[in-house]
Amino acid sequence: MASNNRGAESPILSWRNLNYDVKTKRHGVRRILHDISGDIYPGELVAIMGSSGAGKTTLLNVLAGRVQGGRLCGDIKFNGATRVPHTFKRMLAFVEQDDLMFSLLSVEETLLASAQLRLSNERYADSDKRSRVETVLRQLRLTHVKDTKIGGYGMRGVSGGERKRVSIGMELVTDPSILVLDEPSSGLDSSSAEMVVELTKEMARQRNLCTLMTIHQPSAEMVAKFDKLILLSQGKLVYMGPASQALSYFENQGYPSTNSNPANFFIDLMTVDFASDEAMRKSEQRVQALVDYFANYRKRCTIENDQNTHQHTQLSSHKSIASTLATSRIMPQQQSVALDYSPSKGSHGSMYDGCSEKRAAAADTNYAYITNDITNEVAGMTCYEAPPMNGWLGETRILLKRDWILSTRNMSLVYGIIGECVVNLLFLGFVFFQLGKDQPSVQNRIGALFSLTVQCTFPVIIPVMTVIMTSRDVLMRERSGGTYRMTSYFFAKSLSFFPLVIVPYVFMYTGAYLISHLQYDAAKFFIGLANLAAILFASLGFSFAMSMAVRSLEVAHIITPVSLGTLMLFAGNMANAKAITPVLRWLKYVCIYYYAYSGFVQNEFGGLEFTCSPEAAICYRTGEDVLNTYGLNELSIGQCILLNIVLGAVFYAMAYCLLRWKAKPRYLWL
């Protein structure tokens, strides 16, 4: 147990009179947190408890600097000074309730990637980072599963408890000062949950970490491991002090424990009963009485300690609970007594010093402006990013390696692309087998080239889009912690798909080209290959743009085929490129199908001569006749290739701007 006698030690994180309001449609402005004050110290394991809707997660997010929207008032200090977003973000480790990790990476690879990205290369050599990962694996008892993949939906991996410990380990490799956990026991059985709490406390002791977590309904054994409890009800503070003194505190108020599990007792005591109007009224009165009693109690303890400080005497023995609460730095809640306390030097116990009248007046002034109008709540949000820990090239190299591992281990993606290319090679090659120079071969060549163009879009865009969208949650988590630059992520993610897509498609194109007997000319083959690479580049860009523009994967799977199907109308095969109505004709200039199809057709039909039979109703004698008929000779082949590359670059730029806007951390800040 951490000593209650802190002496002259200062809190690592302190907060005064926190009020948080949100705007609702039905009730206007609703206050979520009411005048919450407190302190936490290095080496402490602090739990925030309360029933659903009590404000636990809101308080945690406020203290961690991760609350979005609404209006936040109060004062938060980090190491006795106003928090600097960049510094605080680096010193705080935030473990979210959902364990967002890549299922295809092993435990060791996950921790190593976090260490390589978040530890400075100037201060830590690669061997130092690997050594730190080994230490964390050992401390969190993960050594036996270090080579096991994380796993996920439809894929076996580590257990739920091990997964949670990996999430904690990803943050601990950075050597933070504060560890914040949101519902670490959620989804775990009692044994795994107790192990997570036990290891968290052990790490807090070993590293002198300030550890703060929300927890809904822990077991009695878990409650016994906490150093301090923060009990909330309806956003109000019911108790904050040593966990070992909580039952005695409520018993002195006439509420003896009636449950073997203290957590269940606390929750029952603080929960509003909605069974009937009478039950709701009585329970609300009870909760308000608990809130008022604790506020008055802290005020009384503060005044007594202030008097004793001036008299240089210790607190009397009959005030033992008050002394214990005082040494835990329980602060006054009411705005009118917004005082700052520090321990009295030279005393055997912790004593309170009243803050200056100037500080109290400033606190009153801070809340004098509160009104019911929070229409400008977004304007108060701070957009900040922690400075990068490593150079751009170093970040990109690490991310590219990780993305390549993820891509190559995604067997459904790899086998899907390869299988699709093999099937298309066989069908394109043998449906249009050994094309000749007669009139039917004109139509077959048109069909083969159009099929090739279509096969370079749908089978590429939809799978890649799915992979990108399913990893966005991990991106948001890493970005909120300032793990890397957005440009590094975007460049590495884009580059990791190129070999995976281009290599199989080059194989497909080569096979279909030879089997169907398109023009056997080296220059035409490589020009067609360049045109193929251009449309694949544009398709990948389109998939990135769609991934960032649409939030829902289900909606994206509806919009994408509809969009591509609409663009196909302007390719020049279904509708003559020169005969499209002028109102819609401009769409062909933003159509990747039009440029790719036009390039393929010009490349293949250029220089060809066809034979005509006497009974033929229509006769194309040369390839130029075909191009003129279909209207596909408006642009040269080089222009078509270049414009598809430009369109792909535009899609990538759109995707980057959308990603930058969505992933930018925007939090209310004190």
The DSSP bridge pattern shows strands 45-49 and 71-78 to be unpaired
CA distances from 221 to 180, 212, 225, 246, 324 (A): 21, 18, 7, 15, 22
Cα R_g (the chain), whole angstroms: 33
pLDDT tens for 405-416 read 999 999 999 999
pLDDT tens for 491-504 read 999 999 999 999 99
| Residue pair 531/488 in contact by the 8 Å Cβ criterion | no
How far is the C-alpha of 498 from the C-alpha of 493, rounded, in Å?
Answer: 10
DSSP letter string, 241-266: EEGGGHHHHHHHTT----SSSHHHHH
Residue 476's pLDDT band, with cuts at 50, 70 and 90, is confident
Tokens of 71: 């209006």
Place of tokens 């108790």: 239
What is the DSSP code (8-state) at residue 149? B
Residue 311's pLDDT band, with cuts at 50, 70 and 90, is low
Residue 325's pLDDT band, with cuts at 50, 70 and 90, is very low
175 compared with 3, residue with greater pLDDT: 175
Place of tokens 């700052």: 340
Q: What is the model's pLDDT at position 306? A: 61
Indicate if the pLDDT at residue 358 is higher than 60.
no
What pTM did the predictor assign? 0.80
pLDDT tens for 88-121 read 888 889 998 888 899 999 999 999 999 999 888 8
- End-to-end CA, the chain: 31
What is the DSSP code (8-state) at residue 318? G
pLDDT tens for 650-667 read 999 999 999 988 777 778
Residue 305's pLDDT band, with cuts at 50, 70 and 90, is low
CA distances from 440 to 202, 554, 618 (A): 79, 42, 11
Place of tokens 């490799």: 173
How far is the C-alpha of 250 from the C-alpha of 238, rounded, in Å?
Answer: 10
Place of tokens 């590293």: 207
Indicate if the pLDDT at residue 352 is higher than 70.
no
What CATH number labels 13-383? 3.40.50.300
- Other beta carbons within 10 angstroms of residue 46's beta carbon come to 22
Indicate if the pLDDT at residue 669 is higher than 50.
yes
pLDDT tens for 113-150 read 999 998 888 888 899 999 999 999 998 999 999 999 99
Q: What angle is formed at CA 184 by the lines to CA 182 and CA 187, rounded to 5 degrees? A: 115
| Residue pair 538/645 in contact by the 8 Å Cβ criterion | yes
CA distances from 64 to 87, 169, 480 (A): 12, 18, 11
pLDDT tens for 505-546 read 999 999 999 999 999 999 999 999 999 999 999 999 999 999
- Other beta carbons within 10 angstroms of residue 545's beta carbon come to 23
Indicate if the pLDDT at residue 254 is higher than 60.
yes
Show me where the domains of the chain are located.
13-383, 392-664
What would the mean pLDDT of 616-639 be, rounded to a whole number? Answer: 88
Mean residue pLDDT across the chain: 83
Neighbouring-strand partners of residue 29: 23
How far is the C-alpha of 560 from the C-alpha of 649, rounded, in Å?
Answer: 19
Q: What is the model's pLDDT at position 310? A: 53
| Residue pair 649/539 in contact by the 8 Å Cβ criterion | no
| Residue pair 179/200 in contact by the 8 Å Cβ criterion | yes
Q: What is the model's pLDDT at position 580? A: 85
| Residue pair 615/480 in contact by the 8 Å Cβ criterion | no
